[in-house]
Amino acid sequence: MSRHGSSRRSMTLRALAFLLALALIAGVGYFVGERLEKESVQEERAVMSEGFGRYEEKISAGKTYYKKTGLTTLLFMGVDRDITKESKGISYRSGGQADFLLLMVIDHDSKVIRQLQIERDTMARVDVLTILGAYGGSKIMQICLSHGFGKDQTACCENAVTAVSRYLDSTPIDLYMAVDYSAVDKINEMLGGVTVTLQDDFSELDPEMTLGKTMRLVGHQAELFVRSRMTIGDGTNASRQLRQRAWMNGAIDLMRQKVKNDPNYFETFVETLGDQMTTNIVEGRLINEFNRAWQYQIVPVEQIPGEYTIGEDGFVEYHTDPEAVIAWIVDAMYRPAEES
């Protein structure tokens, strides 16, 4: 049995509740892939201060910061292929793109959860494999492509985690969870249908989905809402990300109502998803995180500022401000040294 298969099987406890709900909801807004190449920039690395009991230290804008204690980082991924189906033959470059990437930083000391949505077109350094599975070095490309390299879904997730960690100035990522595109409509159905207001016209895809309409998404409408891009509105991933966040917000509200009415709801929820989920989370760790973070404040989804350009190959590239990357990391995970 594969590693990700065994890890999934361990997750049917009720204590999955809060964090797993957020993970599954966060990991379903995504899709559409393209590839490209450009450059990303990094700043000062973190170092460990000398002496026993000292904090991990980072220098930013000439100031010293210490790493907060009691942090947990979780990366949620939405994958643009059915992860329950293996490719024919042996392939190390067909794991599917992680078109939705959301990093959650849980600060147990301040009881706050920060969410960073990483634009799928973000240019970053990604480890690549040859068609025979050998390490082929690293290249600058869309960060979503990082999930495509690996012998199985676990290896693909680990490669994506490496790329995201490197992009975020080597920030450690403790846990990951990925779901595939086929899970969107299933999750929406289990929640009873998320209600959204359509800021774009989807009528060419579904005649009921007209501009300005407030409606409860049913059937295949949920996937159309969070996945469609090229023929919707201005066709950009930026607009699609706004739709994904709107769906996520509605889904979280419904999830809270479900668990309030039925404490056993999540066990059925997770079992229903089955093989559509890949994770490294073991039940003991998850129970601990759940027990501590159940009532924490959730900060609205954030994104690193950047600029969209068109690469030489004709595909969209998103170049982030390196100082903004460091600023977000410092704000979410560090504290000024003078506060010690």
pLDDT tens-digit map of 127-181:
999 888 899 999 999 999 999 999 888 999 999 999 999 999 999 999 998 988 7
State the pairing for strand pair 71-79/175-180.
Answer: parallel
Q: What is the pTM of this model?
A: 0.78
- Residue 26 is given by DSSP the state H
Say if residues 199 and 184 touch (Cβ distance below 8 Å): no
Are residues 133 and 94 in contact, defined by beta-carbon separation less than 8 angstroms? no
Q: What residues have CB less than 8 Å from 193, skipping those under 6 apart?
A: 216, 217, 218, 222
Q: Which residues touch 191 (CB under 8 Å, ≥6 apart)?
A: 251, 254, 255, 258
Per-residue confidence (pLDDT) for residue 25, from 0 to 100: 55
Dist CA 28 CA 100 (whole Å): 7
Where residue 231 falls among pLDDT bands split at 50, 70, 90?
Answer: confident
Residue numbers of the domain that contains 111:
3-339
- To 5 degrees, how large is the angle CA 226–CA 26–CA 230? 20
pLDDT computed for residue 236 by the predictor: 85
**Phi, psi (5° rounding) for residue 252?**
-65, -40
How far, rounded to the nearest angstrom, does the alpha carbon of residue 79 sit from its chain's CA centroid?
10
Q: What is the pLDDT of residues 243-270, one digit of tens each?
A: 988 998 888 788 878 877 887 776 677 7
The confidence band for 283, taking pLDDT boundaries of 50, 70 and 90, is low
Is residue 109 within 8 A of residue 122, CB to CB? The reply is no
Instruction: Confirm if 320 and 117 have CB atoms less than 8 A apart.
Output: no
Q: What is the CATH number of the domain that holds 316?
A: 3.40.630.190
* Dihedral class, residue 89 (left if φ above 0, else alpha if ψ from -120 to 50, else beta): left
Contact 105, 334 (CB under 8 A): no
* Section 226-235 average pLDDT: 87
Over its C-alpha atoms, the chain yields an Rg (Å, rounded) of 20
Question: What is the DSSP-derived secondary structure letter of residue 89?
Answer: S
Counted domains in the chain: 1
What angle is formed at CA 244 by the lines to CA 25 and CA 229, rounded to 5 degrees? 135
Higher pLDDT, 323 or 17: 323
Enclosing H/E stretch for 188 = helix 183-190
Q: For residue 255, give the amino acid letter.
A: M
The residues near 77 (Cβ < 8 Å, ≥ 6 apart) are 27, 98, 100, 101, 147, 157, 160, 176, 177, 178, 179
What would the pLDDT profile of 31-63 be if each residue is shown by its tens digit?
Answer: 333 233 233 333 344 444 444 456 788 888 888
Residues in a beta bridge with 125: 140
CA distances from 138 to 125, 130, 141, 313 (A): 6, 11, 9, 19
Q: Which residues contact 198 (CB under 8 A, 6 or more apart)?
A: 209, 210, 211, 212, 213, 214, 215, 225
Task: Provide mean pLDDT across the span 27-33.
Answer: 36
Length of the chain: 340
User: What is the predicted pLDDT for the residue at 7?
Assistant: 42
What is the spatial order of strands in the sheet that 56-60 belongs to? 47-48, 56-60, 63-67, 334-336
